[in-house]
Amino acid sequence: MSGPVLADDVPPESASTEAPALALEITPSRLTEVGGHTIARALPQRSRRTVGAWCFADHLTPTSATIGIGPHPHTGLHTVTWLVAGEMLHRDSLGSEQLIRPGQLNLMTAGHGVVHAEETPPGFRGERHGLQLWVAQPEVTRHGPPTFEHHADLPRAEFGHATVSVLIGAVAGIDASPARADTELVGVDLELRPGRSELPLRAAFEHAVVVLSGEVEIAGTRRIGPAQLGYLGLGRDEIELRTDEPARLVLLGGLPFDETLSMWWNFVARGHDEITESYRAWRAADERRFGAVSSPLERIDAPRPPWLRD
Ligand code: MN
C-alpha cells in the first residue's frame, strides 16, 4: 500500500535538513494516488526528508476499496506495515506469505534487493486503514541480505490517557519491541482517550507525529489532525498530548540520520549510479538481482529516472 517516491515528493538527491531543537513544525502531507486509492504522504517532504532514519510515511486513509500493489523491488530500506483496520496479504521474493491484521507488524528488510507485493486477502471485505513506513538502512547493513519479520504481538501498555503499542524501539519504560532496528529508532502507536497524556521521550532523538484519526493538541500549543506531519525536532524529553475526542497517532523518532540518501521510486541508495543500476536490473527483469515473487497482481514497471536520457 505504499507508492513510489518521485520528484513530486522530493528531489532524488539533496542534503538532509538540519534537525532544529524543540521545533514544532506542522506541514501538510501530499495527497497522492496509490493502487487506486488516495493516500496522504507525510514523509518525505521538501523541507523534511527524514526523522531519524524514518524516510517515508504513507497514510492509507480509511477505504473499503480493493487495493493492491503488484510486485515491485526495494533496496536499502526496511518497510514497516501497520494497520489500524482491515487486513493485507504480504508476499515477497524470500517466499514469505503473511497476512497482517491490526496490532501486528510486518517488517521487511530490503538490503541489496528484494521484491514484494501487497494484496487484498482473498475474500476480505471491509475497511482498511493504516500506515506504510520506510526506514533507511545505514551503510553498515544496507548491502546485506533481505529478510522478513512478522510480529503478531507487540508490547502494549496503558499510559496516562493512552494505550501505547511499541512498534519499534522502546518508550516510557514499556518493554522494547522485538522488531529489527539497524539504527537507534522509535515508533509508537497511541490510542488517545479524551484528556491529557505525557509521554517521556529521548532528548537525543528527533521526533514527529502522524495523526491517523481525530485531532490532537501538542505541547499545549497547536492542534494537528490527519494529512499533516508534526515535526518536533530534537531535545524534547517528553511530549504532551491532549484531545477532546478519541484520537489515534503514530510517533516516529530516532537519532538524526547522518548519511546523505538518494531516494528514487522504490530505491533508497547513495547516488544516481546505484539507482540507475537497480532501475536497469528491474527493467531487465533480472531475477538474480531482486528475486521473484508469485502474485496475481501485475508487476510494476519503473519509470525512467530523470537523469537518464537513453
Ligand atoms: Mn513496497
Taking the centre of ligand 1 as the mean of its atom positions, its distance from the CA of residue 4, in whole angstroms, is 8
Q: From ligand 1's centre to the CA of 109, what distance in Å?
A: 11
How many angstroms separate the most distant Cα atoms in the chain?
A: 58
Give me ligand 1 centre to Cα 22, in Å. 33
Report the mean per-residue pLDDT for the chain. 93
**Distance from residue 177's CA to the centre of ligand 1 (Å):** 22
302 — pLDDT class (breaks 50, 70, 90): very high
Ligand 1: centre distance to CA 94 (Å):
14
Give distance in angstroms: CA of 1 to centre of ligand 1. 7
Q: Nearest 5°: phi and psi at 90?
A: -100, 135
Confidence of residue 60 (pLDDT cuts 50, 70, 90): very high
The stretch 111-116 carries a mean pLDDT of 98
The pLDDT of residue 16 is 63
Judged against a pLDDT cut of 90, whether residue 310 lies above it is answered with: no
pLDDT > 70: percent of the chain: 96
Cα(170) to centroid(ligand 1), Å: 25
Whether residue 150 contacts residue 118, with contact meaning beta carbons closer than 8 Å, is answered with no
pLDDT at 1: 55
Going from the Cα of 17 to the center of ligand 1, the distance in angstroms, rounded, reads 25
165 within 8 A of 115, measured Cβ to Cβ: no
Ligand 1 centroid distance, CA of 39 (Å): 14
Distance in Å, CA 260 to ligand 1 centroid? 21
Question: Quick one: pLDDT at residue 14?
Answer: 60
Kindly tell me if the per-residue pLDDT of 18 is higher than 80: no
Q: How many residues does the chain have?
A: 310
Binned at pLDDT 50, 70 and 90, residue 79 comes out as very high
Select the highest-mean-pLDDT range: 37-41, 60-64, 200-204: 200-204
Provide the pLDDT confidence category of residue 278 given band limits of 50, 70 and 90: very high
Q: pLDDT tens for residues 128-148? A: 999 999 999 999 999 999 999
Give the pLDDT band (50/70/90) at residue 219. confident
Q: How confident is the model at residue 247 (pLDDT cuts 50, 70, 90)?
A: very high
Query: Using DSSP, how many helices (H) and how many strands (E) does the chain show?
Result: 3, 24
Q: CA-CA distance, 85 to 62, in Å (whole number)?
A: 8
What would you report as the CA-atom Rg of the chain, rounded to the nearest whole angstrom?
A: 18
Cα separation, 19 vs 33, whole angstroms: 29
pLDDT at site 67: 82
Residue 17: pLDDT band with limits 50, 70, 90: low
The whole-angstrom separation of Cα 279 and Cα 263 is 12
pLDDT band at residue 15 using 50, 70 and 90 as cut-offs: low
Q: What is the pLDDT of residue 98?
A: 98
The whole-angstrom separation of Cα 75 and Cα 308 is 19
Ligand 1: distance of its center to the CA of 123 in Å? 22
Cα–Cα distance measured from residue 189 to residue 244, given in angstroms and rounded to the nearest whole number: 18
Residues 235-253, mean pLDDT to the nearest whole number: 96
Distance 74 CA to ligand 1 centre (A): 7
State the pLDDT at residue 76.
Answer: 98
Query: What's the 24 CA to ligand 1 centre distance in angstroms?
Result: 30
Which residues are CB-contacts of 66 (< 8 A; sequence separation ≥ 6)? 120
Cα 199 to middle of ligand 1, angstroms = 31
Amino acid at 240: E
In the reported structure, the alpha carbon of residue 115 is separated from the centroid of ligand 1 by a whole-number distance in angstroms of 8
21 has pLDDT over 80: no
Q: In 3D, which of 255, 214, 209 has the Cα closest to residue 232? A: 209
Rounded to the nearest 5 degrees, what angle is found at the Cα of 149, between the Cα atoms of 239 and 116?
Answer: 105
**Nearest-angstrom CA–CA distance, 205 and 207:** 6
**5 pLDDT higher than 90:** no
Percentages (nearest 5) of helix, strand, coil residues in the chain: 5, 50, 45
Residue 290 has pLDDT above 70, yes or no: yes
CA distance 84 to 118: 16
